[in-house]
Structure 1
Amino acid sequence: MSAVAAEAVCEVASPTAALSIPHVAQTPELNTDPHSATWSHAASAWIEKDCTHQINYPKLKTEVRGFWTGSDLYLLFICPYHDLNLWLPADNGKDRLKLWDRDVIEFFLGDDWTDIKHYREFEIAPTGDWVDLAIDLNKESYDANWNSGWQRQARIDEKNHVWYA
């Protein structure tokens, strides 16, 4: 049995966390500099608790910033760290399966609240390694061949112990 399947499912507590993000008319330059003009109008929130809102993870506290344009969703994750667990050497020219076994940021996008077991999963590591998956938990499967075409960047600021994606 996989480690994921062996873990208890987190029961989501209400109210759920929400982040309303603004629309930006112009398509900005994609970058990981939180002080750049790209991120100046982004909304932000902190991720630091599990889905029950009971367990706090101060060492994993991550800031997420976001906005959208007419065609794209932009997210920036600002992730302080003590130690990094990475796949090396980096290979970010293609999907890297099992990326979730190391340090990553992952986010999930769905479009049907009546079928939340069908969604898209996106992961990026501090090295820029990535994977995007089409998940269908109704069939207990994922499509590793699905390719969203998403653009992504990541970098590690070793001096300040922060990574960005």
Structure 2
Amino acid sequence: MLKNNYKYRIPILVAFTCFFSISLIYPQNKQDKITTRLSEKISQLEDNETELVWIYFTDKGKSLNKYFEKPSLAVSPKSLARRAKYYKAKPLIDESDIPVNEDYIKQLEKLGIKIKHKTKWFNGVSAFIKKVDLDKIADLKFVKKLDLVAKFKANRKIE
């Protein structure tokens, strides 16, 4: 039975290698990173106006191991104790617990982007951007997607 599995490994490895190589040769188009809603909204803005957008990142960076080796860097001791009590399996943290990569945030701030909120759960930030900043942000390799922050009107009927 094990011998039969080996004959599939090489074709699978070749297919994976081809797919990975093609993705490196043809990286994500910056227009694919920008949602239609955001494109439409940004096109209506004046050059000096800002819009609140979500900037999602491709990854959490290269130094993930330090968080798994010392989970208290990512999660409070109280949370770790609670997780240890209920979750017997290790590790007590996962990638959604790891903070957003600060190097990515610094690069955005160098472009003059004002960060409003960081979200480690969605691996991104909300930020105020101008129309002229959109392409600069989309060109960054660590940016996965740009989307408009949804706004809802509250129904404030007081009876």
TM over 0.5: no
Task: Give the TM bin, normalised by the shorter chain.
Answer: under 0.3
TM-score w.r.t. length of structure 1 = 0.24
Structure number having the greater helix percentage: 2
TM-score (norm 2): 0.24
Q: Which has the higher contact order (CA 8 A, sep 6+)?
A: 2
